[in-house]
Amino acid sequence: MLTRRQFAMSLPALASLGVRTGHAEPAPEYVCPMHPEVRKPVPGKCPLCGMTLISKILEPVEYPIEFAFTPPAIPADHPLTIDIRAFDPVTGKQVQNYEIVHEKPMHFFILSSDLEYFSHEHPTMVPGGIFRLQTSLPKPGVYKMFADFYPLNGTPQLVPKIVSTEGFRKSIDETFVRPERDIAPKESTNLKVFLSLDPIEPIPAKKTLLFLDLDPAEGLEPYLGAWAHMLIESHDLIDTIHAHPSAADGGPKMQFDIFFPREAIYRIWIQFQRLGKVNTVAFTLPVKALA
C-alpha cells in the first residue's frame, strides 16, 4: 500500500499518462483591476466601477507624474491652472491614452491640511496628453492634491502632491489638526445621511463596516458610475483611501467595507447624487489600536 507521501508524489506521473487523479485544475478567477477584492469565476464587468474583469491581478507599477502650476507661486483665492502629465516608467514617453474609470479618465482631489476643504474635480484632456484643471485654492495654507487615473495597458495610479500657497510660512506639521469624533447625521443639498459602524470603535488593519442610511432615498442616482464615492484621509495627510459601496442598490441603505491602515484620525467624505444634485457630507473617525 502506498503511503500518503508516496501517493502524492505519484500524482504527477499518473497525470502525465492521462490517468485522472481526482484533482481538478483550479478554475480561473477574474478580478477587477481597480477593485481587486471583486473576483468572479467568469468574465464580466465590475459591479463597482464597470471595468472589464481580467484573469490575473496586476502587479502595481508606479508611473512618474509631473504637476505644473500657473502661476507657479500658487496664490490663494486667485485663478490657478494645474497641468498634469504622466510618463511611461519603461520608455519615459508621455502617456497619451487612459482607461475610463467611473466615467472619467482622471479624478483629481484637493484637500486642505486642516481637513476643512474638499474638492473632487475632473481635469480636461488637452492636446498632447495633458490634463488641465482650472481652479482656485480658497485660503492660504497647505493642500494635498492627488491624481487618480489608469494609463492604458498600465495599472491604477493614485499620485499625491503637497503644496503651500504663496507666502504661507508654517510648516506642514504645524497645520495638522486632530478633530474630534463626529458621526452625527449630516445634511447636504437635498439629502440627510446617517452613519453607523461595526465595530463601533474601529481597529487598525481590521475590517470596519460603514452603514449609511439616506433620507430621502427616492431620486437617488448613480454618480460617476457608482451609487456613492468615498474618500478617506488621515489627519496627518499620510493615508488616503478611495472607495465605493460594497452593497448598494439605489435604496436607502449602503455599506462600505474599509480597512483603516493604522492608528490615526480620519476624515471621511462621501458623495451621492440625488435628483441631479451632488451631495457631499463629511464624518470624522478616530481609529485606535487595542490597548
In sequence order, what are the beta bridge partners of 255? 211, 247
- The whole-angstrom separation of Cα 218 and Cα 117 is 29
pLDDT for 200 beyond 90: yes
Q: Could you report the per-residue pLDDT of 148-159, keeping only the tens digit for each?
A: 999 988 888 999
Contact predicate 224/104, CB 8 Å: yes
Q: How high is the pLDDT of residue 48?
A: 72
How far is CA 70 from its chain centroid? Answer: 27
Q: What is the pLDDT of residue 56?
A: 63
pLDDT value for 14:
34
CA–CA distance from 76 to each of 42, 124, 137, 140 (Å)? Answer: 51, 22, 5, 5
The confidence score (pLDDT) of residue 182 equals 98
Question: What was the pLDDT predicted at 129?
Answer: 86
161: CB partners within 8 A, 6+ apart: 67, 144, 145, 146, 147
- Please give the average per-residue pLDDT across 99-111, as a whole number: 93
Examine the pLDDT at 221 and tell me if it is beyond 50.
yes
pLDDT at 57: 64
Compare 43 and 135 and report the one with higher pLDDT. Answer: 135
pLDDT at site 73:
95
Contact 134, 71 (CB under 8 A): no
Q: What is the pLDDT of residue 251?
A: 96
Question: Whose CA is closest to 50, among 62, 66, 33, 37?
Answer: 33
**Mean pLDDT, rounded, for 270-286:** 97
Beta-strand runs (E) in the chain: 30-31, 39-40, 65-70, 80-86, 106-112, 118-121, 124-126, 130-135, 142-149, 157-164, 186-187, 192-198, 207-215, 220-221, 229-234, 240-243, 247-248, 253-259, 264-274, 277-287
| Mean pLDDT value across the chain | 87
* pLDDT value of residue 50: 67
Q: Which of 88, 67, 202, 184 is nearest to 135 (CA)?
A: 67
- Asked if 159 and 107 count as a contact pair (C-beta separation under 8 A), the reply is no
Domains of the chain, with CATH numbers? 65-172 (2.60.40.1930), 186-287 (2.60.40.10)
Radius of gyration of the chain (CA): 23
Residue type, 52: T
pLDDT digits (tens, 9 = 90+) for 1-33: 333 333 333 333 333 333 343 444 455 577 766
